[in-house]
Amino acid sequence: MRTLRVQVRLAVLLAGLCLWMHATHSAATEVIMLSLNDGKSISGDLVKADKDKVVVKVGDGDQAKDIAYTWDLVRKVSNGLTRDKILQQWAKDNPDLVCADCKGEGKIVCPKCNGKGFLPDAPKVPCTKCLQTGFIKCTNYQCTLGKVPCDGPCLKPNEGTWTKGKDGLLYRRFVYQGGFAEWSEQHYGEVVQMKEGKPVNIGKCDKCKGTLKMDCPLCKGAAKIQCPACKGSKSMVPDCTECKDGKIACPTCHGSGEKPAAKTGDAKTDDVKK
């Protein structure tokens, strides 16, 4: 009988724990950052995201406000969320409501360019992407004048723990069995390796030669790459003026992905950015 009471109490405790964990998980919010097309960034709690907009809670306490940003304003969401992903999931969850023409994507292939995004049969025109130079600026975001931060094993100010010494210089400490050794910021770009159980400075990094910079792997140090539009030929076929990347909004559902009869209004938020 005593064993039964213990089992009952244990079951009640487990049930309570499960309810608490569920409530905690439900109450958890996801903080995201929206990068907008105008260059601004918005940070807040993700309230909802649907086919039309992303809603974030901005501010704290009584000052908090739900603000909706339509997808045409959003360049990137920090958690990787996109409108296409939402549409794909919505189409899987609501097969009976999916627009028959675009299959829930909200877009169809552009009939003018057949989905190419350019007009292959049109006469070539001077390339507007590279201004007829055949090259564009290197697209590696880390590249500055053909150089990027060294990815070699050398001492760097942003790697490891650096502490200020009595002389005002920053030092990085390497601990080994029996003691430690330190190198100051004056040794940036040099490589410290363990040899026979002790850290040893073996000289300047082979990749950056002690400069902390190396040639960009994309442009090979040239700071420019071949124009992807004209492939360096300085002329190109004109872009399609009817679409974006070969797709246009579905005329049947007007880009919603839903059957016209299934379209319903969404709940209003405090502030909507359009």
DSSP per-residue letters across 115-151: TSSB-TTSPPEE-TTTTTSSEEE---TT-BTTEEE--
DSSP 221: T
Give the span between the Cα atoms of 176 and 194, in whole angstroms.
9
Question: How large is the average pLDDT for residues 57-79?
Answer: 87
Q: According to the model, what pLDDT value does residue 267 have?
A: 44
Mean pLDDT of the residues in the chain: 84
Q: According to the model, what pLDDT value does residue 40 have?
A: 84
Cα four-point dihedral sign 136, 137, 139, 145? positive
Vertex 200, ends 199 and 205: CA angle to 5°? 115
pLDDT tens sequence across 144-167? 999 999 999 999 999 999 999 999
The residue among 38, 59, 35 whose CA lies nearest residue 47 is: 59
How far is residue 21 CA from its own chain's centroid? 30
Q: Are strands 107-109 and 247-249 parallel, antiparallel or unpaired?
A: antiparallel
Give the span between the Cα atoms of 274 and 171, in whole angstroms.
51
User: Which architecture characterizes domain 2-94+261-273 according to CATH?
Assistant: Roll (2.30)
How far is residue 153 CA from its own chain's centroid? 27
Residue 210 tokens read as 């002690």
Q: According to the model, what pLDDT value does residue 237 have?
A: 86
Q: According to the model, what pLDDT value does residue 223 have?
A: 95
Residues of the chain with CATH 2.30.30.100: 2-94+261-273
How distant, in Å, are the alpha carbons of 52, 165, 177, 216 from that of 174? 54, 15, 10, 30
